[in-house]
Amino acid sequence: MKVLITGGGGFLGSHLGDGLLAAGHEVMALDIAPDLKVRHNLGKAGFRYLKGSVFDTDLLESLVAKADLVYHLAAVVGVEHYVEDPFHVLNVNVNGTQNVLKFAHRYDKRLVFASTSEVYGKSRDTPFREDGDRLLGSTEIDRWCYSTSKAVGEHFCFAYGKLGLPVVIVRFFNAYGPRLDRIDVGRVITIFMGQLLRGEDLTVIGDGKQTRAFTYVDDAVQALVRAGTLPEAVGRIFNIGSDRETTILELAETMIRAHPGTGSKVKLVRQEDVYGDSYEDIPRRFPDITRMRTILGVEPKVPLEEGLRRTIDWFKEPFFIR
């Protein structure tokens, strides 16, 4: 099978490409990013890396037409983008997604759309179920533009589904592992990573009692591959993650434990000192993964401390330490 991955040069996209190649599929990876995370696959039979975006419509259409399956992972992700450039977030995540869906529908290609746990917003109905209600904050708060953009993408997926497009939606819960984006920005793990590798204190926003679910990338990729290949997945939403609820304070302590000898400690800081009033934190976020287990047949296997150790070891490679 020939598979197109938009965002194929990113963290999840590069690992998904590995998994598909290992399963014997051909992979076309489309991305605006440098090929750093896929260089180990360059030159391999069955792998092509194409520099371009989901707004390069001629290129995108030609790739979709050649593919048997499309994974749409290209998106603007990261808290720093939500609060600094919401237009870019909305433009890429909504209008770019429409381009991919339009061509997938035109050529009748199955599509897997990468959504996010952010769509649940401030809902307190935990663990989050795929059919649960969503609760978002004011549109005056920029942090909600990402959640909104992904929810709009999901609505477009279902709208195209009614027009006959075979579509699957996956909502990721804090996927992490080797090849994560650069340290010090974006995800909590990469922010902690920069501090940890420099032997600094890990700065936890607020009291650290906020909870998240962290998903090692190998588990996420297994679920992604199944979502794209199992017939019974079509037309469904799947939470992709672990149902182990972890506080941010516990995450920081676990990272220190996974990389002993740094002298790092945990330091609590006020939220307004980091993102100002353009960001609103969520007290609890963890999924119900019944569908992932029963329909996709995937069970998260990599424990948090082990996954963090593997991730830290990768970031310790000289090339990646900044």
pLDDT by residue (tens digit) across 212-238? 999 999 999 999 999 999 999 999 999
A 10 A CB-CB count for 55 gives 14
- Give the Cα-Cα-Cα angle 266, 205, 208 (nearest 5 degrees): 65
pTM for the whole thing?
0.93
Instruction: Name the region of 3 (left: φ>0; alpha: ψ -120 to 50; beta: rest).
Output: beta
Band (322; pLDDT cuts 50, 70, 90): very low
Q: What is the largest CA-CA distance in the chain?
A: 58
Asked whether residue 318 carries a pLDDT value surpassing 70, the answer given is no
Q: What is the DSSP string of 188-243?
A: HHHHHHHHHHTTPPEEEETTS--EE--EEHHHHHHHHHHHHH-GGGTT-EEEES--
Q: Where are the domains of the chain?
A: 2-180+214-243+284-302
Task: Give the CATH number of domain 2-180+214-243+284-302.
Answer: 3.40.50.720
What pLDDT score does 31 carry? 98
Beta strand 246-247 with 211-212 is antiparallel
Q: Measured between alpha carbons, how far is 281 from 301 in angstroms, rounded to an integer?
A: 28
Instruction: Name the region of 297 (left: φ>0; alpha: ψ -120 to 50; beta: rest).
Output: left
* 186-219: pLDDT as tens digits: 789 999 999 999 999 999 988 899 999 999 999 9
Catalytic positions, written as ranges: 146
**Strand extents, DSSP E, the chain:** 2-6, 26-31, 47-51, 69-72, 110-116, 167-172, 175-176, 202-205, 211-212, 215-216, 237-240, 246-247, 266-269
Six-digit token string for 37: 């995370």
DSSP state of 158: H
Band (78; pLDDT cuts 50, 70, 90): confident
SS3 label, residue 96:
helix
